[in-house]
Structure 1
Amino acid sequence: MSTPNILVTGATGLVGAHLLHKLVTNGHQIRALIRNTASLTDVENIFAFYNDASIDLIQNIEWVTGDVLDYYSLEDALAGIEKVYHAAAHVSFVPAQRKLMYRINEEGTANVVNACIDAGIRKLCHVSSIATLSDSGNGIPSDETSVWLAGERHSHYSKTKFLAEMEVWRGTKEGLPAVIVNPGVILGPGNPARSSGKLMELGRKGSRFFTSGGTGYVDVRDVVNAMVMLMESPIEDERFVLVAENLPFRQLLNLMAKHFGTLAPTRRATPLLTSLAWRLDTLRARLTSTEPRFTRENARTSNNTSHYSSDKFMNLFNYYFTPIEQTIAETAAWMKKRS
């Protein structure tokens, strides 16, 4: 095996695993950072989504044990590396997870940036989120020019991703070439118990209720395509919103019901009802010593409507995003096949 020149963090996550498949299929020599407690099961399942033969490609990846919170492990992982894709992050709306989320998303990104600067990395791609974009107001879609408004009621996840972006921008001022992608809610084949996979699992089970909010969505394959295209371009020190469609939550759940063959939601969960729901679930979690499934932040965001524009990326690369219904249809078919 040739010496890898690309490092991927967050390699066992949804974006990371699909990115690994994209890169290794294109013939790149890859090194993937993996925690000592992590499993490759999700990576194997995602590779198998493309075709059964893809699983064999995993052995072409150099796996190194490390953690974004361990600076010295990053130094070792960056030996001989030219480009870094930083996809490691922690997503949670559970209060008990906040401290860990701030550490991984903010401190971990600071470590990656500092290690990249020290190692003389040629270019970094950081996976951020639309959660760092404040609402432009007046129905105007948020885009790369949208600024962070400190006075808004941001989720703690949003705050950690904003702080992570600030670390990357700091790195660019210190000489590190970088690009940032701000994807919407990322959908696609992955672990139904993790991240946005929980949303697909909700669609598989079916839901009687819908909320009045909505947001932007994007196929995970479009996200990794954009990341690779940006890293192979001369573009530096810019960020790009990646959203295929802005959909109301009810429409998204209807599409999932259609392709999973479950009942579509018919009852609107009002803000009053979601407010009651998170309080009851918090009580349930305390009584059972488990984590809440529906939190105060979940309730607030479920009733908010935000719109986003990916015109910058689409116009620059003449790129067309995968329709969200196609993403849902293909993911649902894969999930039903595996169940």
Structure 2
Amino acid sequence: MTTRSLATGGLGFIGKELCRQLVERGEDVRILDTDQKSNGLPEEVEVIRGSILNRAQLKMALKGVNHLYHLAAIPDLWLKNKKDFHFINTTGTRLVLETAANAGVERIVYTSTESITRGVKRRHGEKVIDETTPMSLKDMPGPYCRSKFLAEQEAISAAERGVPVVIVNPTLPVGPGDSRLTPPTRMLLGFLNGEYPAYLESHINMIHVSDVAAGHILAADKGRIGERYILGNENLDLSNLLSILEELTGLAMPKRRVPFWLALGASMVDEFIADHFTHKAPNAPLT
């Protein structure tokens, strides 16, 4: 019997690549998304325009579905209305999991994020983070990470109740097709376009979007219920990444390092101005 898979947020950067790979596997693929643009998708994919916050639309989208990939979320690091992070990322995830469980979905893959580990590194000085590293809400550096951490807790709680949920935590996805310019792509473009005269040394991990999608499918096929799986690649210092970009493009990358205390202060000021005056996304959000 052909597997029918639903991807919430399937018109996003990761979602489109995931759907392409699912179609290649011979699966029937359906998307639930609020986006009106569906270019770049295989013609076999069925697109339902709707929201994860609408239970009736969720029920309709889940009809006959075997596997659910819940990717729908706000990926931005800053919003004018901070409550939207919790409303969509956390409350939306709870509603999706409840509705999928009632629909009898056989396997659910929840897309969390590696970003929720950053606060653990800063607060506790951890050098290496893995799937077993304990985290708490106080470790989360901003509203985006808090909302994704709480959403992941919803998935863990659902698994403890017997809902067949597996969690994946992608690092920073990059690759072709990022039309909305997710945060890692914006960062790379900023350096390539000469927008940043200096940089803050930090540890990053980037992964090609095709590998992220493949990791989702492996989680559905082989993942253990209630387990977390970090989807990542090589750990790099930002200075190493800039050297690679310079070598590949011939463009001069910044050589000056910004001290952490200065970068933190600048981010606080930048975000304060965005929150109270410009109401536009800051160049350097705190998250």
Range into which the TM-score falls when normalised by the shorter chain: 0.7 to 0.9
Corresponding residue of 1:224: 213
User: In structure 1, which of residues 236, 254, 258 is the aligned counterpart of residue 247 of structure 2?
Assistant: 258
Does residue 1:157 correspond to 2:147, yes or no? no
Does residue 1:290 correspond to 2:280, yes or no? yes
Structure 1 residue 284: Cα displacement: 7.2
Instruction: After TM superposition, list the pairs within 5 Å mapping 1:31-50 onto structure 2.
Output: 31-35=30-34, 37-41=35-39, 44=40
Corresponding residue of 2:156: 169
RMSD (CA atoms): 2.5
Structure 1 residue 170: Cα displacement: 1.9
Corresponding residue of 1:202: 190
Q: Go from structure 1 to structure 2 and tell me whether the alpha carbon gap of 1:280 and 1:86 turns closer, same or farther (over 3 Å shift).
A: closer
Corresponding residue of 2:59: 75
Describe the superposition over 1:99-146 as per-residue Cα deviations: whole angstroms up to 9, x where unpaired.
Answer: 111111101100110011110000000111122333395654111111
CA contact (8 A) 2:116 2:148 kept: yes
Corresponding residue of 1:146: 133
CA contact (8 A) 1:90 1:101 kept: yes
Unmatched runs of 5 consecutive residues or more in structure 1: 45-54, 299-339
CA contact (8 A) 1:179 1:238 kept: yes
CA contact (8 A) 2:116 2:140 kept: no
Runs of 4+ in 1 over 6 A off after TM superposition: none
Q: Go from structure 1 to structure 2 and tell me whether the alpha carbon gap of 1:161 and 1:280 turns closer, same or farther (over 3 Å shift).
A: closer
Unmatched runs of 5 consecutive residues or more in structure 2: none
Instruction: Please give the alpha-carbon distance, in whole angstroms, between the structure 2 residues aligned to 1:112 and 1:280.
Output: 35
Corresponding residue of 1:29: 28
Percent identical: 25
CA contact (8 A) 1:5 1:29 kept: yes
Q: Go from structure 1 to structure 2 and tell me whether the alpha carbon gap of 1:204 and 1:231 turns closer, same or farther (over 3 Å shift).
A: same
Instruction: After TM superposition, list the pairs within 5 Å mapping 1:83-98 onto structure 2.
Output: 83-98=67-82
Structure 1 residue 220: Cα displacement: 1.6
Does residue 1:271 correspond to 2:260, yes or no? yes
CA contact (8 A) 1:4 1:62 kept: no
Q: Secondary structure at the match of 2:167?
A: strand
CA contact (8 A) 2:270 2:282 kept: no
Structure 1 residue 95: Cα displacement: 5.0
Does residue 1:193 correspond to 2:192, yes or no? no
Describe the superposition over 1:25-62 as per-residue Cα deviations: whole angstroms up to 9, x where unpaired.
Answer: 22211001121x43224xx2xxxxxxxxxx6xx21101
Corresponding residue of 1:249: 238
Instruction: Please give the alpha-carbon distance, in whole angstroms, between the structure 2 residues aligned to 1:5 and 1:153.
Output: 35
CA contact (8 A) 1:117 1:175 kept: no
User: Aligned pair count?
Assistant: 281
Corresponding residue of 2:88: 104
Structure 1 residue 185: Cα displacement: 1.5
What is the TM-score with the length of structure 1 in the denominator?
0.75
User: In structure 1, which of residues 124, 127, 135 is the aligned counterpart of residue 108 of structure 2?
Assistant: 124
CA contact (8 A) 1:33 1:64 kept: yes
Q: Secondary structure at the match of 1:60?
A: coil
Q: Go from structure 1 to structure 2 and tell me whether the alpha carbon gap of 1:269 and 1:32 turns closer, same or farther (over 3 Å shift).
A: same
- Code of the residue aligned with 2:47 in structure 1: it is W
- Code of the residue aligned with 2:252 in structure 1: it is L
Q: Go from structure 1 to structure 2 and tell me whether the alpha carbon gap of 1:284 and 1:9 turns closer, same or farther (over 3 Å shift).
A: closer
Instruction: After TM superposition, list the pairs within 5 Å mapping 1:231-242 onto structure 2.
Output: 231-233=220-222, 235-242=224-231
Q: Secondary structure at the match of 2:27?
A: coil
Instruction: Please give the alpha-carbon distance, in whole angstroms, between the structure 2 residues aligned to 1:281 and 1:119.
Output: 42
